[in-house]
Amino acid sequence: MSLFNRVRRAVSGPNQVGVDPHDWKLPSSYSVTEPKTNIPNPKIFSTAYIPGYIKHNTAKNPFLYPDIGHAAVHLVLLECFWKLRLSANGLDDEFEGLPTYEEVDQNLNVKPDQRATRKWNTLIKLAVTRFEVWWSNIDRILDHASNYGRIYASERTAIQLSKDYLPPLDVLLVWYAFILNSRSYHLECRRSGRVSTRVLQLAFPWPALREIIDPNTMTYDLPLAARNRFSTLSGQSSDIFVYLKAPPAYIETESLTFGIDLCAEVKRHENFIDQAHHLLWIRGPALRGSLERASVQYFDAQLNHGMWMSEDDDLPFGVKLLWRTHLLFPAQYEHFLEIAKGTYGGSDLKEFFLQHSPLPNTNTHMCICWTCERIRDDLPTFKHTSYTNSVASSSSDQTHHTLELQLSTLSAARFHQILDDIGFHHAVEGARKNGKPLPTRPPTKIEQEAEKVAKGKQKAMGYLPGVNEYFERMPDGSYKVRKHKAIPGWGTAWAF
């Protein structure tokens, strides 16, 4: 046994079973000379592609959207949004000529957090004006994608945005918030005279985002072609911070009427973005397990309870994440609701989800920190409150007894592995924040087994369905990839 393994095993001794998991002593000594550390594992994003034409995704030919791959890309994007907000703090205090979202006290003794809010509000307002320019040209963008992108003609596919057609991050944030206001988005698409079918069938561009965002740095790196395209359409720099340095501050354009305050819509999602950054599942040791459990909770809510969800509800973070991911493909979401209501065999679809998912833990007040989520990978029914609540009740013998009963069902080896996983991910994140070399470790047994299972599934499936392809359910219950017959036509192109 290596020195590092001995140290880690000593720290994670069996006596911690009776200790509150939030107070566990975690191993922290790891080598930095072993194979490269990839957190998150890039394979989590492998299924973040977009299904073909919506009407052919039925209960017999289901496409699991949103998949955990889409949700994982969503988490990465939320980190990019959070970093954009943080970057606003570096702006100058005064922006002569810029629009302001709200009246702000001009007193020089403004508190730092108020000043940061003022800067962020100003950035949002400018982002909305840039979005209006981009949105007013959405038909031209789709036409260009159709005519000059790689053409895959089929009656069962639709135009989607590739990485060369993505907007700048600030514009993407406004579009993100707009789509999530489902009612207003549908009304605007159908009212404005645009080719509403094409716009409503636009999914949020998950495959393109997967290509351009570096998950190690959470950096949104827009390709040169996309930067040039935005500059050509708008006369503005694609980089909002570069744009701010070159007067005039913004270009006057014909004001568009959306029926909602887009600035307010963006700000409505600040808490969710902050929550995602605070939890940081994307860097955690239980990312796959957390997303799988959230997926089960979400689909259970939709299929068994109908549309009871709203932003005002006290929903678990994972359910909100999956729900938002689903809403970001408007046409697919509407079609799913029809399936859920039984129009296309909802009972079969419900059976499919239940057969392919573990049992959910639906308590919205359970702690979902890295530690508790990693424990649930091995104990799906593990129950624990938030850290604050657990500290408040730490003197309760019943609380300690309940935790000990739950954790005592773990074998010593499994308990050590949980501790090691949590400790390793904390060590990596700490090194990342301090700019130090990332700790490494050999693949764990669980990771090795997961790799074998993934390879087995890949071999059985051959490859995942792509453009002009779909799943077909076979008589034995398995799924096979089928190809659609190609039919020419500009309205059926897929720009990829």
DSSP 286-345: THHHHHHHHHHHHHHHHHHH-S---TTS---HHHHHHHHHHHTSHHHHHHHHHHHTTTT-
Whether the predicted pLDDT of 318 surpasses 90 = yes
Whether 372 shows a pLDDT value over 90: the answer reads yes
Domain assignment present for 237: yes
| Tens of pLDDT, residues 216-228 | 899 999 999 999 9
- The answer to whether the CB of 170 falls within 8 A of the CB of 130 is yes
If one compares 394 and 180, the residue with the highest pLDDT of the two is: 180
Contact, 131 vs 175, CB < 8 A? yes
Residue 169 inside a domain? The answer is: yes
Q: What is the rounded distance in angstroms from the CA atom of residue 269 to the CA atom of residue 250?
A: 25
* 220-238 burial code (b ≥16 CB/10 A, e <16): bebbeebbebbeebbebbb
Residue 4: predicted pLDDT: 41
Residues 6 or more apart whose CB falls under 8 angstroms from that of 160 comprise 50, 202, 203, 205, 207, 494, 495, 496
Q: Considering the domain boundaries, does residue 174 fall inside one? A: yes
Beta partners for 219? 214
Could you give the 3-state DSSP secondary structure of residue 228? helix
Residue 471 maps to a domain: yes
- The answer to whether position 488 is within a domain reads yes
d(CA 427, CA 439): 7
Tally of CB atoms within 10 A around 442: 11
For residues 173 and 123, the answer to whether their CB atoms sit within 8 Å is no
The answer to whether position 322 is within a domain reads: yes
pLDDT digits (tens, 9 = 90+) for 275-291: 999 999 999 999 999 99
Q: What is the pLDDT of residue 118?
A: 85
pTM: 0.81
Residues 227, 134: contact at Cβ < 8 Å?
A: no
Query: Is there a domain that residue 54 lies in?
Result: yes
pLDDT of residue 396: 52
Residue 309 — pLDDT band, cuts 50, 70, 90?
low
- The pLDDT confidence band at residue 388, using thresholds 50, 70 and 90, is very low
**81 assigned to some structural domain:** yes
Name the residue with tokens 């065999």.
345
Quote the pLDDT of residue 344: 42
Structural domain containing residue 139: 42-285+317-342+444-496
Work out how many domains the chain is built from and give that number.
Answer: 1
pLDDT confidence of residue 249: 45
